[in-house]
Amino acid sequence: MSSTERTLFPGDTGSFPLDMRQALVRLLRGPYIDGTADPALWTTVLTHAVSLQQYLSEIFLLLEIDGERKIALLSPAEVDAVHTQPIVARKPLRREETLLALRLRVLLDRHAGSGTDVGISRAGAREILAEHRQPGAVDDKRLDEQTDAALARLLNLKLILPTELAHEYRVSNALALALPFDSIDQIPAYLAAMDASAQDNAEGQDEALDLDGGFEGELDGGHTSSAAGDQATTTAPARNHAPQDTTMQEIF
């Protein structure tokens, strides 16, 4: 294709064809590309992965592709220099949002290779959060509010996806990349550490949990946002860390 044929608008000096540029926009907008939902876009990413990465390297981003789960997303490169973080840091997930995401991560792993979708209902999410209530907590209205807020947050991040049925959701395969534990056997200990931390902090349910080890204030968005969009994103527990030291990787 000639440079003239690649010109898409007045003043265009780009070299990529339209489909590659569209793939870049989708990657930068985030939070991820789902190859099952958008096979044409997925094929473009796979076909031009080397060229896309070359472009993304110019702005300190890495293209991560999970061929088995058909998920592609961006993560920031670790560069020890100023002005190298295209992803803007934001506040972390609330405790309930993190608890729900971790429990769904376990379900996702247990269903790996089964060929079936992992689902979660509002009632199921409420039961999960009820299991992690602080001792003596009996405010069911508060639990309902926390359940709805956690589901809304994970929906916004596209870590769970709506279905045709009301209050029924499908767990996205991207959750495995958002929470990349070496083994799901690490998750119960991590959940236990979160419960213990909440019990030690009388206000634990009203504060946002920083998985780097501290608590933050009111949550307004995920821990990160994509480089060229305002969709909030989460980060995921780093590999090879003990549960109490687990941090979340800035990819969502």
Higher pLDDT, 78 or 43: 43
Residues 17 and 137 in one domain: no
In order of 27, 69, 127, 142, 199, the CA distances from 138 in angstroms are 43, 39, 13, 9, 15
Of the residues 41, 76, 111, the one at which a domain ends:
76
Residues 137 and 237 in one domain: yes
pLDDT for position 216: 30
**132 is in which domain, residue-wise?**
95-250
Average pLDDT, the chain: 77
Res. 89 pLDDT band, cuts 50 70 90 = low
Asked whether the predicted pLDDT for residue 131 surpasses 60, the reply is yes
Q: Could you tell me if residue 230 is inside a domain?
A: yes
Share of the chain above pLDDT 90, in %: 44
pLDDT for position 137: 76
Residues 60 and 142 in one domain: no
Hey, which residues does 224 pair with through a beta bridge?
89, 233
Res. 234 pLDDT band, cuts 50 70 90 = very low
Q: Could you tell me if residue 84 is inside a domain?
A: no
| Range of lowest pLDDT (23-32, 55-64, 70-79, 92-101) | 92-101
Residues 67 and 140 in one domain: no
Q: Read off the pLDDT of residues 195-204 as tens digits, 9 standing for 90 and up.
A: 777 666 645 4
- In 3D space, the residue among 91, 94, 93 whose CA is nearest the CA of residue 206 turns out to be 94
Residues 243 and 149 in one domain: yes
Q: Which CATH number is 60's domain given?
A: 1.10.10
Residues 117 and 196 in one domain: yes
Residues 31 and 150 in one domain: no
Q: Could you tell me if residue 219 is inside a domain?
A: yes
Residues 71 and 112 in one domain: no
Q: Could you tell me if residue 85 is inside a domain?
A: no
In order of 131, 172, 222, the CA distances from 235 in angstroms are 24, 15, 8
Does the reported pTM lie above 0.85?
A: no
Q: Read off the pLDDT of residues 11-58 as tens digits, 9 standing for 90 and up.
A: 999 999 999 999 999 999 888 999 988 999 999 999 999 999 999 999
Number of domains forming the structure of the chain: 2
Asked whether the predicted pLDDT for residue 110 surpasses 70, the reply is yes
Residues 133 and 213 in one domain: yes
Q: Could you tell me if residue 82 is inside a domain?
A: no
pLDDT for position 215: 25
Residues 101 and 44 in one domain: no
pLDDT for position 73: 92
Q: Could you tell me if residue 217 is inside a domain?
A: yes
Residues 143 and 233 in one domain: yes
Res. 224 pLDDT band, cuts 50 70 90 = very low
Q: Dump the DSSP string for the chain.
A: --HHHH--STT----S-HHHHHHHHHHHH-S-EETTT-HHHHHHHHHTHHHHHHHHHTTTEEEEEETTTTEEEEEE---SSSS---SPB----BHHHHHHHHHHHHHHHHTTTSSS--EEEHHHHHHHHHHTPPTT---HHHHHHHHHHHHHHHHHTTSEEE-SSTTEEEE-THHHHHS--S-TTHHHHHHHHHHHHHHHSTTGGGSEEETTTEEESS--S-SEE-TTS--EE-EEEPTT--GGG--EEET-
